[in-house]
Amino acid sequence: MQKISGRRKFILSMARAVGLASMGGLVWYSVLEESSHASLILRPPAALAEEDFLKTCIKCGLCVSACPFDTLKLASLGDKKPIGTPFFDARDIPCYMCEDIPCVPVCPSGALDEKSVTNSEGNLDIDMSKMGVAIVDPYACIAFWGIQCDACYRACPLLDKAIVLEYEKNPRTGKHAYLKPVVVPDVCTGCGLCEHACITEKASIIVLPREVAMGKAGDHYVKGWDEKDQLRVKDAKAQTYTTEISKKSALDGLNDNSLFEDDLLGDGF
């Protein structure tokens, strides 16, 4: 009986160990799955860059509690976002652009940088926030079909600044005009009020994090119309490089059979 009892204990112990290991694996997989979607998360106003935000945020939830519109939520398992961090879904509840930005001053860790939304007069200015930038899908937006709709334009708190309407003649009818919404990225705060107001079944204008939605020109490009930007190359010396092939005329290049012969004798034949 003692041998049987010992064997049962051993089997039970092994079963528990396997169960715990499996559970741990599932939890770890969930954590990795949540983190993999971090690049598409909309954070509260004044949030640091995502990498710095995740290092600084202590997941206290004070910003969520301070939001008067229940816009902000704390990510939990299944949200596919880093657990415990604040975020918002613009299609569900957008940021209503509170003038006093109550979610920012309560942040104890600096993950929400109050200075980034403070103007030169020392006052909080929600218009300075850069939560994201709205992107219009021209294939889904009915305004691009010739159907008059300005829902996103009218919903924008920075009317005629962050979203403008582009007038264009409709060649199909010859009488009507397209009123196409165009987002001005430098002004858009990413509040998501436009996405929330969009009348299509799946929003035709969506807010994405700025680093995802916007491109960036390389540092080697100089803005010829910007005097400050031109200062970066004030000491540069003009130099033209001539390659061997550039010395030949186009006609000489076409009559050069050596290139064709190299192809025939190459490894592919």
pLDDT in tens, 127-158: 999 999 999 999 999 999 989 899 999 999 99
Query: What is the residue extent of each domain of the chain?
Result: 37-129, 132-215
Say which CATH topology domain 132-215 has: Alpha-Beta Plaits (3.30.70)
- Rounded to whole angstroms, the Cα distance separating 56 from 48 reads 9
Instruction: Kindly provide the residue ranges of all beta strands, DSSP E only, lying in the chain, ordered along the sequence.
Output: 73-74, 86-87, 133-136, 163-169, 177-183, 205-208
- Rounded to whole angstroms, the Cα distance separating 15 from 10 reads 9
Inform me whether the pLDDT recorded for 192 exceeds 60: yes
Q: Which has the higher per-residue pLDDT, 82 or 261?
A: 82
Q: Which has the higher per-residue pLDDT, 48 or 1?
A: 48
Full-model pTM = 0.70
* CATH 3.30.300 is the classification of domain 37-129: no
- Rounded to whole angstroms, the Cα distance separating 180 from 138 reads 9
pLDDT confidence bin for 186, thresholds 50/70/90: very high
pLDDT score of 30: 47
pLDDT score of 172: 72
- In sequence order, the 6+-apart residues with CB closer than 8 A to the CB of 257 are none
pLDDT confidence bin for 33, thresholds 50/70/90: very low
Q: Which has the higher per-residue pLDDT, 110 or 269?
A: 110
> How does the average pLDDT of the chain come out, rounded?
83
